[in-house]
A and B are shown apart, each in its own frame.
Chain A
Amino acid sequence: MLYRDALNLALDYAMEHDPRVVVLGEDVGFYGGNYRVTDGLYVKYGPKRVIDTPIAENSIVGTAIGMALMGLRPVAEIMTVNFAMLAMDQFVNQMAKLRYMSGGKLFLPLVVRMPQGVAKQLASQHSQSLEHFFASVPGLYVFCASDSISAYHGLLHAIRMDDPVVFLEHVLLYGMDFPSEYVKNFDPFKARILKEGKDITVVSYLKMVHDTLKACEWLEERDGISCEVIDLISLRPIDFETIYESVRKTHRLVVVYEAPKTLGLGAELSARISEELFYYLDAPPLRIAGEEVPIPYNRKLELMAIPTPEKIYERILSWSKSHGL
Chain B
Amino acid sequence: MSQTLAEKFYYLMKLGREFEIRCKEEYLKGNISGFLHLAIGEEAVHVGAVVGFGKGDLFCPYREHVLALARGIDPKLIMAELFGKATGVSKGKGGSMHLYEPKMDFYGGNAIVAAHLPHAVGAAYARKLMGERAGVLCIFGDGATNNGTFFEAINMASLWEVPMLFLCENNYYAIGTHVNRSSALKDIYLKARDYMPAEVVDGMDVFAVYEAVVKAKQYIEEYGKPYFIEAHTYRFEGHSMADKGDYRSPRELEMFRKKDPIDLLLKKAYKEGWLTEEQVRLIDQKVEAVVEEAVEFALSSPEPSEEELYTDLYCGVCSDVIP
Contact = CB atoms under 8 A, between A and B. Distances in A.
A95 to B, nearest CB: 10
A22 B160 CA distance: 14
Given A101-B93, A161-B318, A163-B316, A62 B129 contact: no
Interface stretch (A86-94, A273-281, A291-299): A86-94
B319 A53 contact: no
A220 B101 CA distance: 59
B313 A100 contact: yes
B124 A93 contact: no
Interface in A52-108: 53-54, 56, 58-59, 61-74, 89-90, 93-94, 98-107
B313 A99 contact: yes
A214 to B, nearest CB: 35
B130 A70 contact: yes
Query: Max chain B CB contacts within 10 Å: which of A14, A18, A66, A93?
Result: A66
Nearest to B59: A66
Contact of A56 (B91, B129, B155): B155
B319 A109 contact: yes
Which interface class (under 10, 10 to 19, 20 to 34, 35 or more) fits A?
35 or more
B91 A104 contact: yes
A12 to B, nearest CB: 12
Instruction: Give the size category of B's interface with A.
Output: 35 or more
A24 B321 CA distance: 20
A186 interface: no
Nearest to B92: A103
Nearest to B132: A70
Interface stretch (B107-115, B187-195, B221-229, B257-265): B107-115
A163 B121 contact: no
Residue from A22, A74, A100 with most neighbouring chain B CB atoms (10 Å): A100
B311 interface: yes
B135 to A, nearest CB: 12
Contact of A105 (B90, B124, B126): B90
A102 B121 contact: no
A290 to B, nearest CB: 30
A157 to B, nearest CB: 8
A210 B108 CA distance: 45
Contact of A102 (B98, B152, B314): B98
B175 interface: no
B152 A66 contact: no
Contacts of A65: 118-119, 122
A138 interface: yes
A149 to B, nearest CB: 18
Nearest to A63: B122
B273 interface: no
A111 interface: no
Given A62-B118, A94-B115, A105-B100, A69 B149 contact: no
Contacts of A109: 319
A141 B314 CA distance: 9
Contact of B126 (A14, A70, A94, A162): A70
Nearest to A10: B322
A85 to B, nearest CB: 13
B119 A94 contact: yes
A101 B90 contact: yes
Contact of A66 (B112, B121, B316, B319): B121
Interface in B120-167: 120-127, 129-130, 148-149, 152-153, 155-156, 159-160
Contacts of A74: 122
Interface string A151-188: 00000110111110000000000000000000000000
Given A101-B93, A163-B316, 14 more contacts: A54-B159, A59-B156, A67-B122, A67-B126, A69-B122, A72-B129, A89-B112, A100-B93, A102-B312, A103-B90, A138-B313, A160-B319, A160-B322, A162-B319
8 contacts: A14-B322, A62-B119, A66-B120, A66-B125, A103-B93, A103-B100, A138-B313, A161-B317
Question: Which 4 pairs from chain A and chain B are nearest by CB?
Answer: A66-B122, A62-B118, A103-B91, A63-B122
